[in-house]
Amino acid sequence: MRDQIRIFTGTGNPALAKAICDHLKIPVSKADISRFSNENIFVQVRENVRERDVFVVQPLSSPVSENLLELLIMLDALRSASARRITAVIPYYSYARSDKKDMPRISIAGRLIADLLVTAGANRILTMTLHSEQVQGFFRCQADHLAATPILCDYFGSLDLKNCVALAGDAGSARRAGPYATRLNIPLAFVDKRRVSDEKVEIRAIVGEVEGKTILYFDDEIARATSLLKTVELLRDFGVGDIYVGVTHGIFTGDAIERIEDSPIRQVVVTDTVPMPPRKRCDKVVQLSVAPLFAEAIRRIHTGESVSEIFE
């Protein structure tokens, strides 16, 4: 395997790429990435990749547009360097959130970005916890979709919490919280929100039993945490127990970390699909690594073993 596999990283999450390579016991392959004075991105692959099985690790994390363009140009450079197969490893596919046309004359950008990746040279996609499962259908190339559910559930299982309920932030995300509830064998509840105008969303009720329960709030990502914190505020009136939050992608923009620290939330559990800079680290946030999972998936893609069996 060492002879044929090559793993590159963009500047999006080099630590994760390094961790994946460490698990596979291979070095991260070399590529120069820089900007010309007119801001054009320049990529030069520094190793021969002819006939090699190549992977590029790059989440669509901040700065998203830069990271996406960088990925597209890396894919093209690798293709022109005659790589045999190129897999874009995108641990966080931010545009999965733009997955439907719920307003007139908008772009289903999750689909557009998927098409751009193929145009740029991606032969396969390897990603994790898409905002909705349907997004996998947006990829015109072969795609593998990993779930962080086992990692997060194992962690919560290890906490030995009692009397829990899985809470979803709205009706739409109830289906996302479902697999967690099933795996942890706990009941499900959700917040009934209504959009009352273009700007305003009203929380109408919490549907399901939460009183006196330990709340496990599940979602795919936390960015500004506005919606999460509104829900937490609401929960105060319901006499709930401890509040835990489990999400795959911990984006934490603006003052999200500060507001979480100031909130009654006990703990927020995220993974390292996006990098967490030191200034964002805090006692309430636990980061679990997805590197072993990605390493195993890459190994199986390369050797032709089943990827779905990882989750059996």
**Which residues are catalytically annotated?**
193
| Cβ 70 to a copy of itself shortest distance, Å | 8
Q: Which helix (H) or strand (E) holds 203?
A: strand 201-207
Question: What is the x/- site pattern for a copy of itself, positions 189-218, by CB under 8 A?
Answer: xx-x-xx--------xx-xxx---------
Counting every residue written for the chain, the total comes to: 312
**Does position 309 bind a copy of itself by CB under 8 A?**
yes
**Does position 163 bind a copy of itself by CB under 8 A?**
no
The SS3 call for residue 45 is strand
Shorter beta-carbon distance to a copy of itself: residue 176 or 241: 176
CA-to-CA distance for 246 and 1, rounded, in angstroms? 35
- One residue of 5, 21, 77, 164 binding a copy of itself per CB under 8 A: 77
Q: 146-150: which pairs have CB atoms within 8 A and are 24 or more residues apart?
A: 146/290, 146/293, 146/294, 146/297, 146/307, 146/310, 147/179, 147/311, 148/248, 148/271, 148/273, 148/290, 148/293, 149/179, 149/180, 149/183, 150/183, 150/311
For a copy of itself, the binding residues in 140-159 under the rule CB under 8 A are 142-143, 145
Shorter beta-carbon distance to a copy of itself: residue 266 or 303: 303
- One residue of 69, 201, 203, 234 binding a copy of itself per CB under 8 A: 69
For a copy of itself, the binding residues in 78-137 under the rule CB under 8 A are 78-82, 84, 94-95, 97-112, 115-116, 119-120, 124, 132-137
Closest CA to 76 of 136, 117, 134, 137: 117
| Cβ 127 to a copy of itself shortest distance, Å | 12
| Cβ 39 to a copy of itself shortest distance, Å | 4
CA-to-CA distance for 64 and 55, rounded, in angstroms? 19
